Amino acid sequence: MTGTIINVIAILAGGALGLLFGARLSNSLKNTVISGMGLFTTAIGLQMFLKTENALLVLGALILGVLLGEWWALEDRLQHLGVWLEERFSGSSAGGSSRFVRGFLTASLLYVIGPMAILGAISDGLTGDYNTLAIKSTLDGFASIAFASSLGVGVLFAALPILVYQGGISLLAGALNSLVSAAMMNEMTATGGILLMGVGISTLLELKKIRVGNFLPALALAPLLVYLLEWLSPWLGF
């Protein structure tokens, strides 16, 4: 859970800085930093993909994954969940309390809903590699500065769902560690790298809109395809 703890600290630190100094930071500075993180995220995704030992298997996982993701409309469901939660809770009380809830909810949705949270938590739990969550932590920290400067102290409390959500995924992934072979982990990492490049290109650099959320099933399919290939190899003669 190292990555999750770093993420929680980044949100708290960014929120505190936002309350104190956020209004003094220009939008151009914030946008430039986000663009730099987009370039870095894309490069890390490429590095992860290069760990593959079978690129066609990664391609198969992506194709099957996005077919399932589009069928289940994962991206739309995540967005609808965010809209429903905001409509449900943002106007539930008056005055300062409403502002607190809106800040808490807006920040929580941004930090929790997204491929980087799931991908990073799985990687952290399975291998202890928290690079993805470290990148996400930097982004969340800067976002917290912006949110806290306008929405107040409620933003800091968004660290709580991060601790429960990402921490829970990491602990579950850690419990499954004994079932995942090195080959399965390599292909899942490579598949995650493709998704991470999608986040960099679509969300951070805004070069092209990619429904990355619909690719999330590929993370589970990649190790399953490795297992299936290993099981069939004696009959297929390789």
- Secondary structure of the chain as H, E, C letters: CHHHHHHHHHHHHHHHHHHHHHHHCCHHHHHHHHHHHHHHHHHHHHHHHCCCCCHHHHHHHHHHHHHHHHHHCHHHHHHHHHHHHHHHHCCCCCHHHHHHHHHHHHHHHHHHCCHHHHHHHHHHHHHCCCHHHHHHHHHHHHHHHHHHHHHCHHHHHHHHHHHHHHHHHHHHHHHCHHHCCHHHHHHHHHHHHHHHHHHHHHHHCCCCCCCHHHHCHHHHHHHHHHHHHHHHHHHHCC
> Is 82 inside any structural domain?
yes
**In this model, does residue 208 exceed pLDDT 80?**
yes
**In this model, does residue 222 exceed pLDDT 50?**
yes
pTM of the model: 0.78
Amino acid sitting at position 199: V
Instruction: State the residue range of the domain holding 114.
Output: 2-227
**In this model, does residue 90 exceed pLDDT 60?**
no
pLDDT in tens, 36-70: 878 887 888 898 899 899 999 999 999 999 999 99
Domain count, the chain: 1
> Is 232 inside any structural domain?
no
> Is 110 inside any structural domain?
yes
Mean pLDDT of 148-166: 85
> Is 234 inside any structural domain?
no
Q: What confidence category does residue 94 fall into, taking pLDDT thresholds of 50, 70 and 90?
A: very low
> Is 139 inside any structural domain?
yes
> Is 23 inside any structural domain?
yes
> Is 233 inside any structural domain?
no
* Phi, then psi, of 90 in degrees rounded to 5: -65, -25
Contact between residue 163 and residue 8 where contact means Cβ atoms under 8 Å apart: yes
> Is 18 inside any structural domain?
yes
pLDDT of res. 165: 87
